[in-house]
Amino acid sequence: MKKSGAFFVFSVLCLCFKGGIIFSIDLLPLYSYTKNMKSFLKSIQIVFLFGIGVLFLSGCLRSPARHQFGDYSNAEKYYAEGKYEKAIESYQNYMDKNEEGNLSIIAKYYTAKSYVALQKNDQAKKYYQEIINQYPDLIWAELSKEQLKNLAG
């Protein structure tokens, strides 16, 4: 086969959200390096299957993260919409599954704020006090102290 002068460049662009990495694989003038159409088509098949595999694996890697933050994301949405009872329920579900970590502390803080919005100050005080006792060195403890002062005053 003679070269036609046209170069075929095949790119498989795969967006991989894991770690914020975007990468591409370029097969430079693949057609010009193949001796016949059969090997050219075989190369395309390999690239296609590789691309499908990467997309499949990147989807698998992201699935647990979406599931893990589901309750927390829902709680934030409910809180922003003023649906405080639903927010409390979602924050509690998140805290039950994730007892440690920054988001758990924040979930506890916004659970307390949700109780304040519902005028259930006794429940709110309990959560604020837990934050102060368990995490005295964090900013959330300072914010909780301020909230307790506001509730007392």
- Sorted by where each begins, the domain ranges of the chain are 10-66, 69-152
Residues 30/13, Cβ–Cβ less than 8 Å: no
pLDDT in tens, the chain (153 residues): 444 433 333 333 333 333 444 444 444 444 445 456 666 667 667 776 776 766 666 665 554 444 456 888 899 999 999 999 999 999 999 999 988 888 999 999 999 999 999 999 999 999 999 999 999 999 999 999 999 999 997
SS3 call for 135? coil
CATH fold for the domain made of 69-152: 1.25.40
CA distance 19 to 70: 19
